[in-house]
Amino acid sequence: MVLCHPIFTVPNSTQLIYRKSSWWKRNQQRLTPWIFLFPGLLLFLVYVIWPIFNSLYISLLQWDGLSPAIYVGFSNYIELLDDEYFYISLANNLKWLIFFMLAVPIGLGLAIFLNQTIFGIRLIKSLFFFPFVISQVVIGIIFAWFYNPRGVIGPFLESIGLSNYAILADENFATYGIIFAGIYPQIAYCMILYLTGLNNLNTDQIEAGRMDGAKGLSLFKNIILPQLKPATFLAIVVTVIGSLRSFDMVAIMTQGGPWGSTNVLAYYMFETALSEYGYRMGYGSAIAAVLFTIMMFYILFFIYRMYQSEKKGL
């Protein structure tokens, strides 16, 4: 593979010229990529790659961040196995994951609904996309205020006999309240991915399908959906990652409460390591390591897919 590169196949006459010229001229093709990679690679190694391994190491320590750390082996992980809040967080992560997936079909539905050419449709599409542009902090504040029983949905709740019902204070349903808020911008993201996909459909195939009498659902299932596969793949990847990164919404809306019932791993880790519950760096890192392991499956899956397409491209 390396040998096919032009530098190795230049004809003899040019090699002669190369030999005569300076060391830099001879080696610049080999060295240039590394010079260009240097700043980015250095930053990335220091701030992203090294911290991953460092965190895995810290998870084997008992450490409050100030006094000397004590090596405790796997005892943080063993403690996790008996930690009720850890299981609550893990279960909530699962709820996030499952319900977040709804963003994909809903986004697809919206995209199909909006994929028309009528006057002003561009503006309408942008307005539908709006929630994604806005900070999750703002979305969280809006929804928290929405759910306030003395606030916006109060009159509505009263009319169905639930006066003074605060979903965010109900330990059984608070998580669903947050997920509902979190899914709102995610639907917008999936919608835009599918709109792009629909825009690039192969018209000939669709027309041929229609000639053959394919209509409605069968046309959609057999011709449209397969062509939307790249969009679906991307929508699933970003939705899974979004659901596991559910920190902002939880921090804004409930801070894990009531009684830890809305905690997710991302927030629970933060809470154990950096809040009034004590600075337990080792234990926090152990939680982070679990989250990292879960995420790693998706990362590897994604990398594998990209690797396949890279191989095809070469």
Partner 1 sequence: MFPIPIQKRPLINQISYKILIPISLFIWLIPLIGIMLTSIRGLGDITAGNYWGMPSEFLLFSNIKDVFQNTPMLSYIINSFKITIPTVIGAVAVSCMTGFALASYKFKANLFIFFTFIAGNFVPFQILMIPVRDLTFQMGLYDTVTGLVLFHVAFQTGFCTLFMRNFIKALPHELFEAARIDGTSEFNIFFKIVLPLTRPAIAALSVLIFTFIWNDFFWATVLIQGQHAMPITAGLKSLNGQWVTVYHLLSAGSIMAAIPPVIMFFLMQKHFIAGLTLGASKG
Stretch 39-58 residues interacting with partner 1 (CB under 8 A): 39-41, 43-44, 46-52, 54-56, 58
Nearer to partner 1, 172 or 201 (CB): 201
In the complex, what is the shortest distance from the CB of residue 75 to partner 1, in angstroms, rounded to a whole number? 18
Where in 184-203 is the site for partner 1 (CB under 8 A)? 184, 189, 192-194, 196-201, 203
In the complex, what is the shortest distance from the CB of residue 150 to partner 1, in angstroms, rounded to a whole number? 7
Q: Is there binding between residue 164 and partner 1 (CB under 8 A)?
A: no
In the complex, what is the shortest distance from the CB of residue 102 to partner 1, in angstroms, rounded to a whole number? 15
Q: Is there binding between residue 168 and partner 1 (CB under 8 A)?
A: no
Peptide bond into 258 cis (omega under 30): yes
In the complex, what is the shortest distance from the CB of residue 291 to partner 1, in angstroms, rounded to a whole number? 5
Q: Using CA atoms in the order 191, 226, 94, 164, what is the torsion angle rounded to 10 degrees?
A: 40
Where in 263-282 is the site for partner 1 (CB under 8 A)? 265-266, 269-270, 273-274, 281
Question: How wide is the angle at C-alpha 242 spanned by C-alphas 93 and 46, nearest 5°?
Answer: 100
- b/e burial code for range 131-156 (CB count within 10 A of at least 16 → b): bbeeebeebbebbbeebebeeeebee
Where in 71-110 is the site for partner 1 (CB under 8 A)? none
In the complex, what is the shortest distance from the CB of residue 94 to partner 1, in angstroms, rounded to a whole number? 15
Between the CA of residue 158 and those of 5, 152, 181, what are the distances in Å?
A: 73, 11, 21
Binds partner 1 (CB under 8 A): choice among 36, 74, 259, 277: 36
**Could you give the 3-state DSSP secondary structure of residue 275?**
strand
- Closest C-alpha to 283, from 292, 274, 296, 295: 274
- Closest C-alpha to 268, from 95, 89, 140: 89
Size of the site for partner 1 (CB under 8 A): 113
